[in-house]
Amino acid sequence: MANDSTFNFVLRLKAENQTMEAKQISFEVKLLTKLKKYLPADSSDGKAMISMEEGSTLHDLKGILGIPADEFDGIVIDRVHSEIEDSDVLNNGESFTFYATVGGG
In a domain, 4, yes or no: no
How confident is the model at residue 5, as a pLDDT?
Answer: 55
In a domain, 26, yes or no: yes
Structural domain boundaries enclosing 94 = 22-99
pTM for the model: 0.72
Cα–Cα distance for residue pair 59/103, rounded to 1 Å: 26
Contact assessment for residue 71 and residue 34, using Cβ atoms and an 8 Å cutoff: yes
In a domain, 14, yes or no: no
Cα–Cα distance for residue pair 70/16, rounded to 1 Å: 39
In a domain, 2, yes or no: no
Residue range 23-38, pLDDT digits in tens: 999 999 999 989 999 9
Counting as low any pLDDT under 70, the low residues of the chain are: 1-21, 103-105
In a domain, 65, yes or no: yes
Looking at the structure of the chain, the number of domains it has is 1
How confident is the model at residue 1, as a pLDDT?
Answer: 46
Q: CATH no. for residue 38?
A: 3.10.20.30
How confident is the model at residue 91, as a pLDDT?
Answer: 94
C-alpha 8: how far from chain center: 34
Burial class (CB in 10 A: 0-12, 13-18, 19+), 90: buried
Helix, strand, or coil (residue 24): strand
**Residue among 30, 13, 41 at smallest CA distance from 97:** 30
In a domain, 13, yes or no: no
How confident is the model at residue 13, as a pLDDT?
Answer: 57
